[in-house]
Structure 1
């Protein structure tokens, strides 16, 4: 039996971050419901290409956008459709991407009941000034509270996202964010170099010289710092 991985893009956000070029929009509850119904129809259509006798789903990733913006009841409908139309391994890794500003204890418990066994939190930084600059809707304190909430809900597989190369960010500030991430002992840490994607507000501000990127040598130093610190703490 062949292994299969599924990615589902949930395109809703409370607010579009100025550096992000992924497809996303703010939508009404009605639009979200319409989207979920359309996605369920697509799941049924696509599943016809993958016989349940020949393919077994090993990983499922709900990305976005911000999947945690959707009400848990709507996410549950999507999960039920996947269970109905695909052969999902009992050991499958099922991930939900979440913004720290959009989850709470009740949601996390529902995610576990629905079948999610991995949460990926878009922390991006543990520094409020950097979070405001990135247009994030959460604060550093809310990021730590979200991590604690996920842990209390019984999530045994946690991933944290961090961004480096933010304008005016110093190597010391980056190292501090890494240390704050490591102290929570997440199962996985993703680090991303900020990219000025064409057409985004960050890209426009850079072209108009209203935003000055970091020097590439500083970004390289931050990249090396991430490798050194994460390897020293058991990440590979």
Structure 2
């Protein structure tokens, strides 16, 4: 059984800005440029998310939702530097590190127990080292494959850790809203709910033939994920 981690730095761009300027901590911060322009939100602090602001939202809309937010242009160079430091830490725990973006990566800890101890202990060490060395919080999902690990890390955000133990996969997944599954966005989720599919368990109970007929390759992908 593989031991896969999905390591995701919480609100990465904003968190780096908070490390560089601690006065920003706890404040509604938006990274993404000029609020008078046409850009989109690259990152939003948890404080500003309470107002409905989220990544990929038009900057102008974010300003309407939270006029008193602090808007920052951000620096890709700085974020890349911190990203490299995060990956350096991860590579000390496994040679199999698969970056997915600047702020997230899969780490395969299979067979690394002799060096670093049980997987839960290793994951906690990683979180503590990232926090101690860089001042960043990481959420980590642990499971037997990448899909489950990614779902787990999203579930335990912010600053959490969740292990889906072998044999517990279906019990964990079944009650989750369908949009917890990567690849199901707002439009896809709305379409599935119109069919009465509200949870991953609902999706798993549908025949493959029905999903393939209704959604083609996407339906086959949904079936395999559920």
TM-score of the superposed pair, with normalisation by structure 2: 0.27
Q: Which has the higher strand share?
A: 1
